Amino acid sequence: MSAAGGDALLRAGAEEQLQAIRGLLERQVLTPRDPELGLARRHREGLAAALRDHLGATLTVTADTAHLSKHVTLAGARPLRLAPRSANERSRPIDERRVLGARSSLLVCVVAGVLERKTWTQVPLGALAEEVLTHARGLDVAVDWRSRADRLALADAIDFLTGAGVLELRSGAAGELDAEDEAFYDVHRRRLALLLADPVRCAEATSPTDLQAPAETGGDLAGRARSRRLVRALVEDPVLYLDDLGEEDRMYFLAQRARLEAIAQRLTGLSVERRREGTALVAAARELTDLPFPARGHVKQLALLLVPELCARDDGGGASLSVEEQQALVRTLLRRHAEHWSAWDARDAEVVRRACAAALAVLTGLRLVTTDPETGAVRVLPLAHRYRAAVGRRAAPTQLVLS
């Protein structure tokens, strides 16, 4: 084989690994319906090593599944998004899709426990629901299928397990207890076993903090743990600000910055944007983000229009806007774009307050602004200036009207 041919194979292999990693980061579980499963199986050893060494994650690959287990702290945990059920849901931004709530999360655990105990390979929904009631009573968990909230929580739990490949609808109406055409599911037991990254720790846990992996301390272990933590911040957070890091992490990041950024770029295929204040990975389209921005939807459009106004009032010295100033800006924007936002009445103070809170929640989640929890004052963060010209050039900030 020629050198050129060998290089082409290496490039093809690297591209396949990149596609597999991106699929795993986006969905955590790959099943036969995912095109990346074959790539994950083909490159399992290299992928497992890269994900373990750089993100501290565990990759398990079987004949019909690739499962990525990410070890997170409770403080760093994010909402679990449910797989879209329709074309309409698939068209919505991922952060506007259904989230697995606390009650549904509890029922995921109860349902998984029932499936593990009963060793079923197939089960009708009614039989599963009856066993869930019995199992819940043994755990002192009150469940009542006459309650609409509990039925919806069960439907979401079933949806989550279906998205994880543990359950697969064979026939009937998915998740509907009262449907005449009762749902009938296949149970994939190997995928069920992969739900728990550490079954022993789960069995021995007496509090939520017991579920967290122990910290790696001492010598090279601490260095590897710090490297993984920083790469994960680059890969998973909207931006890594130096000011958010502790002194030791900040010194380590500055010393190893080029290496850590290169690892994050190689894992994701995204572009690195380095600034004095920190580093962000930038997606050209909507890939790999759970907080797409800019995006359609009135709240995100309002948030985008709000950014230049906030940036125009940022003197670079940490100046902040009071709640009254924020709402005055939003009121002005609602008036200016009233023909597009007829659902928002700028004359209604409560509407303005809610619109302002919603827009700022978007910007806060993206680390574009930060809010003082006591006063509600908003301070612009450096990444916000990336969007200050996103809606056209402005000669001067809009005059505030505090009415």
154-184 pLDDT, tens digit each: 999 999 999 888 999 998 888 777 777 888 9
Exposure b/e, 344-373, CB count within 10 A at least 16 = b: bebeeeebbeebbbebbebbeebbbbebee
Q: What local confidence, expressed as pLDDT, does residue 161 receive? A: 92
Give the pLDDT confidence score for residue 401 in this predicted structure. 38
Which tens digits make up the pLDDT trace of 240-251?
A: 999 999 999 999
Please give the Cα distance from 113 to 192 (Å, whole number): 10
Q: For residue 168, report the phi and psi dihedrals to the nearest 5 degrees.
A: -135, 120
Structure tokens at 41: 């199986």
**Tokens at 375, concatenated:** 């006063």
Best CA proximity match to 344, nearest among 399, 305, 380, 389: 305
The amino acid present at 116, given as its one-letter code, is E
Q: DSSP for 114-156?
A: HHHHHT-SEEEHHHHHHHHHHHHHHTT----TTSHHHHHHHHH
Residue 380 pairs in a beta bridge with: 369
CB 190 within 8 A of CB 110: no
Residue 223 has a pLDDT of 77
Do 87-204 and 298-387 agree at the fold level?
yes
CATH T-level topology, domain 298-387: Arc Repressor Mutant, subunit A (1.10.10)
pLDDT at 36: 94
Structure-block tokens of residue 30: 């790959």
Mean of pLDDT over the chain: 84
Burial class (CB in 10 A: 0-12, 13-18, 19+), 175: buried
3-class SS of residue 208: helix
Residues 6 or more apart whose Cβ sits within 8 Å of residue 37: 30, 31, 64, 65, 66
- From first to last of the 403 residues of the chain, give the pLDDT tens digit: 555 555 666 778 889 999 999 999 988 899 998 999 999 999 999 999 999 999 989 999 998 999 998 876 666 677 778 777 777 877 777 777 788 888 998 999 899 999 988 889 999 999 999 999 999 999 898 999 999 999 999 999 999 999 888 999 998 888 777 777 888 999 999 888 888 766 666 766 777 676 666 655 545 556 788 999 999 999 988 899 999 999 999 999 999 999 999 999 999 999 999 989 999 998 877 667 777 887 778 888 999 999 999 988 887 766 788 999 999 999 999 998 888 888 888 888 999 999 999 999 999 988 999 999 889 899 999 888 888 776 644 444 444 333 3
The single-letter code of the amino acid at 54 is H
Examine residue 294 and say whether the peptide bond preceding it is cis (omega within 30 degrees of 0): yes
165: how many CB neighbours lie within 10 A of its CB? 23
CB 280 within 8 A of CB 239: yes
Model pLDDT, residue 9: 65
**87-204: which CATH architecture?**
Orthogonal Bundle (1.10)
Give the model's pLDDT for residue 402.
38
**Helices marked H in 31-71 — which ranges?**
36-42, 44-55
Assess contact for 263 and 231: CB atoms under 8 A: yes
The pLDDT, as a whole number, for residue 286 is 67
Give the tens place of pLDDT for each residue, 36-68: 999 999 999 999 999 999 998 999 999 899 999
Domain boundaries, the chain: 3-69, 87-204, 238-290, 298-387
Distance CA 261, CA 255 (A): 12
Strand arrangement, sheet containing 240-241: 240-241, 278-282, 271-275
The residue assigned the tokens 């957070």 is: 237
